[in-house]
Structure 1
């Protein structure tokens, strides 16, 4: 018979293990010595120790599920309870009991963790739904559309909730996206309709612009082109594929017209500049007639100058007042000379002037006599009053005498 602290082998080859409840039969050994029997079953015990140690490590260091861990514990416990090993089986049961507690603790931790993750996922999805519902009312079509697509990707990365909650939140989320898509589609449909109307309107503007391009009615046509440009801006944009072509045709027709007008105006400006030089020469020739000494000769010369002037044509608008003013100055001098000559040679006017002068002279002589008489009588007040009256009559007389001189008197 052979024995150790945890087991023995009797004389029949039966192997026993010692437990708190007494000895338990491990098995029967007939193949060798009792020591070999004990060694065999001790190795089986060491195998269980190793398996329990590995399971403890897996439970502590891996994500082994509680279910799989419990299955492994139950399997090992069956082996321990079967008493097919020699060793401290109670110690193994104690370790397995601790493993059960550890697994349960881990199960509770994971349950709480899942609950926390679920709460976080719920809040995250509720936040996504709230933002999606807000974006559904946005008119920032591009930015809002891109953000909604990003929200879908975020949603896909979140854990699922319980089916009811997840379905309800997804329904709201999906409804918000659909509402936005519907509004965006309606907006762009309306925009397309507006742009189609704009295209038709601009086609008409282009047609009129092209029809006017060869006009030589410079002023009215240029004014109409300005009106067409105002109308073009008020119409709004056509579809992108039409807008550039319509604009190029619209502007191209105007460019043809304004290029032609510029060419004509350039020729006209050159011609008017030459006309200005000719008129300035005539104005200088007319100014040499001043001062007028020979009225008849000056009038004939000015008439010849004026005829040549009229034949020349237009000058630049900004130069016209100055050069015409020079001619008007000479013309006014001739008119004044004619008026002076007319007064000088008019018999009726001369007679009236002589009559007026005679009357004024008689009035002056009379006043002088009255003044002398008043002073001789010592009436200074009357004399002073008559002196003032004399001054006025004398001034009229002097003026009349000057006018009479113009008649050669």
Structure 2
């Protein structure tokens, strides 16, 4: 008879395995020695250990379904319970029991995960519906249309909910898309009508523009072309296939008129350019009068220059402010010199200036006396107040004396 810690072979060749419930018959071995019999059934036990280990790994690391995992566990349990192996079968049962607990735990985790995913999908679809309903009111036809198409693709990528919830949300989503499509169709139908009206108006504008193209009434015709252009812009765009052809005719008619006008104006511009050259020479001559030393002579010379200036015709409009500004600057300098001369020779103004100066001088002298008196009495606060007042009066007096000097006094 042969034995090991988990099994034995009796004299008849019967193989036993030891379990918590006592010995169990494993099988009969007649083909060799008892040690060979134990080794054979021990290898079968090792095979069960390997299979259980592999199943444990699959359950922990793969997406093996709970149903398939339980079927594999039951199959292994049948083999363990059949007692056709020698080893710690009770330990294998414990491992299988723990594996059942793990499968149950994984089943609950997957159930909770599916619930979370379902709730996330619900929230995602509700968000898509909300955005679609907002887009249904948009007038940004291209951007909103592209966004709605993107929302459909996003919807298709989300898992389905329960049938009732999914159908309700899809109905709202589909209704929002339909409402947007209906509004967009109405908008473009209206736009087509507007473009047809624009085409009709622009054909009339083109006809009038072509009729005016030979006019030589430059001012009124140019003004009328500006009116026609304003009406053209206000009419909006016609259909694409008509807009360019109508614009080319309209612009072409204007080009004919304005080319003819430009030819006429070119002669005028040449004359005005020559006038500008003459006026710039006169402006330079006038500027040589500055600074004014002899007012009477400067006034007479400027008058003579100005008479020659007036005899010259128009200059280009864009050059007019600069050249006229040079003449005006000389004229202002002469006027200022005249005003200064008048102030110097005006007896009434001199008398007023002298009177004001005398009054301010008397006030300053009086304040100085009061300050001395206050200091003699030890009233420094009053003295300081009077000194501040004296500073103001002295400044006014200095200004008045400066003005009096302009009269030569």
TM-score scaled by structure 2? Answer: 0.63
The yes-or-no answer on 1:206 pairing with 2:218 is no
CA offsets per residue over residues 3-27 of structure 1, 9 Å max, x none?
2222122222221212222222211
**Alignment-derived partner of residue 59 in structure 2:** 59
**Alignment-derived partner of residue 179 in structure 2:** 179
Shift of 1:119: 0.8
CA contact (8 A) 1:212 1:221 kept: yes
Shift of 1:54: 1.1
Shift of 1:157: 2.5
Shift of 1:202: 0.8
Alpha-carbon distance in 2 for matches of 1:273, 1:156: 75
Q: Residue 11 and residue 262 in structure 1: after superposition, are their counterparts in 2 closer, same or farther (change >3 A)?
A: same
**Equivalence map 1:81-96=2 (5 Å):** 81-96=81-96
**Alignment-derived partner of residue 163 in structure 1:** 163
Shift of 1:243: 2.4
Alpha-carbon distance in 1 for matches of 2:71, 2:273: 114
SS at match of 2:138: coil
Shift of 1:273: 11
**Alignment-derived partner of residue 227 in structure 1:** 227
**Alignment-derived partner of residue 151 in structure 1:** 151
Shift of 1:271: 9.1
The yes-or-no answer on 1:193 pairing with 2:199 is no
Alpha-carbon distance in 1 for matches of 2:271, 2:108: 105
User: Number of residues paired by the alignment?
Assistant: 278
CA offsets per residue over residues 170-199 of structure 1, 9 Å max, x none?
221121112112211211121122112111
SS at match of 1:195: helix
**Alignment-derived partner of residue 46 in structure 1:** 46
**Alignment-derived partner of residue 259 in structure 1:** 259
**Alignment-derived partner of residue 135 in structure 1:** 135
Alpha-carbon distance in 1 for matches of 2:182, 2:254: 43
CA contact (8 A) 1:269 1:316 kept: no
Q: Residue 71 and residue 272 in structure 1: after superposition, are their counterparts in 2 closer, same or farther (change >3 A)?
A: closer
**Alignment-derived partner of residue 300 in structure 2:** none
SS at match of 1:11: coil
CA offsets per residue over residues 97-148 of structure 1, 9 Å max, x none?
0000010011101111111111111111111111111111111212222222
Shift of 1:220: 4.2
Alpha-carbon distance in 2 for matches of 1:266, 1:47: 111
Alpha-carbon distance in 1 for matches of 2:97, 2:136: 57
CA contact (8 A) 2:272 2:314 kept: no
Shift of 1:259: 1.4
Alpha-carbon distance in 2 for matches of 1:224, 1:111: 80
Alpha-carbon distance in 2 for matches of 1:220, 1:46: 113
Alpha-carbon distance in 1 for matches of 2:43, 2:314: 127
SS at match of 1:45: helix
SS at match of 2:18: strand
Q: Residue 7 and residue 243 in structure 1: after superposition, are their counterparts in 2 closer, same or farther (change >3 A)?
A: same
Q: Residue 252 and residue 35 in structure 1: after superposition, are their counterparts in 2 closer, same or farther (change >3 A)?
A: same
SS at match of 1:3: strand
Alpha-carbon distance in 2 for matches of 1:24, 1:154: 62
CA offsets per residue over residues 25-66 of structure 1, 9 Å max, x none?
211211111111111001000110111111111111222221
**Alignment-derived partner of residue 28 in structure 1:** 28
The yes-or-no answer on 1:236 pairing with 2:227 is no
Q: Tell which deviates more after alignment, 41-50 or 237-246.
A: 237-246
CA offsets per residue over residues 357-376 of structure 1, 9 Å max, x none?
xxxxxxxxxxxxxxxxxxxx
Alpha-carbon distance in 2 for matches of 1:272, 1:129: 72
CA contact (8 A) 1:273 1:316 kept: no
Q: Residue 26 and residue 266 in structure 1: after superposition, are their counterparts in 2 closer, same or farther (change >3 A)?
A: same
CA contact (8 A) 1:214 1:257 kept: yes
Q: Residue 21 and residue 216 in structure 1: after superposition, are their counterparts in 2 closer, same or farther (change >3 A)?
A: same
**Alignment-derived partner of residue 354 in structure 2:** none
Shift of 1:241: 3.7
Alpha-carbon distance in 1 for matches of 2:151, 2:270: 71
SS at match of 1:24: strand
Shift of 1:156: 2.4
Q: Residue 15 and residue 272 in structure 1: after superposition, are their counterparts in 2 closer, same or farther (change >3 A)?
A: closer
